[in-house]
Amino acid sequence: MAEPAPADTATARILAEADSIRARQAREAEILARADSIRAVPHPDSLAFKQLQYDSQKKSVAVGVGLGFLLPGLGNFYADDLTGGIFLLALGITGVALASSESEGSGGHTVGQGIVLITFIASPIGGAQSVLDHNEKLKRKLGIVVAETPSGRPALALTEHF
């Protein structure tokens, strides 16, 4: 076999070096793409991650109020407030039972109507308050604290649990 001409050897070296550079650039591009995808997911201790968790787990006040209008205590049940939900549901059932009582002159009918009215007003309010309490507990659990600035505006702060 004949030795390649000096010009062919130089060309081969240049082409080999170019291929090496392209391969290195491809590896670097892959590393940069992986680093960008890692940066796109917030760290579990970061405020952004905690805010994502809060946003996905918080309850809607409007839903709590709406459910409270549908059935006494239902807004409380939605907000995981079983005690308040059971109380309002029992109060509503008691009011309906008294309001529909047949006994004349005992006043049970009027008392029952009053209880039903109070329950109808209290249930949506209780549902809203239970949702607000649920969301506040969730913030504390995640370490998100809403503090006030000196001007009275809300400001987010992080807390650490040891």
Alpha-carbon distance values, 8 to 14, 17, 18, 39, 129 (Å) = 10, 14, 15, 46, 83
The whole-number pLDDT of residue 162 equals 44
Question: Are 127 and 68 contained in the same domain?
Answer: yes
Count, residues in the chain: 162
User: For residue 159, is it within any domain?
Assistant: no
User: For residue 117, is it within any domain?
Assistant: yes
Question: Are 120 and 83 contained in the same domain?
Answer: yes
User: For residue 18, is it within any domain?
Assistant: yes
The whole-number pLDDT of residue 158 equals 53
Question: Are 29 and 63 contained in the same domain?
Answer: no
> Structure tokens of 61?
């006040």
Mean pLDDT of 139-152: 76
Question: Are 63 and 103 contained in the same domain?
Answer: yes
Least confident of 30-34, 81-85, 99-103: 99-103
The whole-number pLDDT of residue 101 equals 79
For the stretch 68-89, pLDDT in tens is 999 999 999 999 999 999 999 9
Least confident of 1-15, 67-81, 114-128: 1-15
Mean pLDDT of 18-46: 82
* Whole-number average pLDDT of the chain: 84
Mean pLDDT of 151-158: 61
Residues 6+ apart with CB under 8 A from 54: 138, 139, 142, 144
- The total number of structural domains in the chain stands at 2
User: For residue 27, is it within any domain?
Assistant: yes
User: For residue 75, is it within any domain?
Assistant: yes
Question: Are 18 and 79 contained in the same domain?
Answer: no
pTM of the model: 0.64
What proportion of the chain, given as a percentage, has pLDDT over 90? 49
Mean pLDDT of 41-52: 75
Measuring CA to CA, which residue among 76, 56, 46, 82 is closest to residue 138? 56
User: For residue 76, is it within any domain?
Assistant: yes
User: For residue 118, is it within any domain?
Assistant: yes
User: For residue 124, is it within any domain?
Assistant: yes
> Structure tokens of 65?
């109020």
> Structure tokens of 148?
């006030």
- The secondary structure of the chain as a DSSP string is -PPPPHHHHHHHHHHHHHHHHHHHHHHHHHHHHHHHHHHHSPPTTSHHHHHHHHHHHPPPHHHHHHHHHHSTTHHHHHTT-HHHHHHHHHHHHHHHHHHT---SSSSHHHHHHHHHHHHHHHHHHHHHHHHHHHHHHHHHHHTEEEEE-TTS-EEEEE----
Name which residue leads in pLDDT, 106 or 91: 91
Confirm if 60 and 76 have CB atoms less than 8 A apart: no
- pLDDT for residue 54 is more than 60: yes
The whole-number pLDDT of residue 10 equals 83
Structural domain including 110 reads 59-131
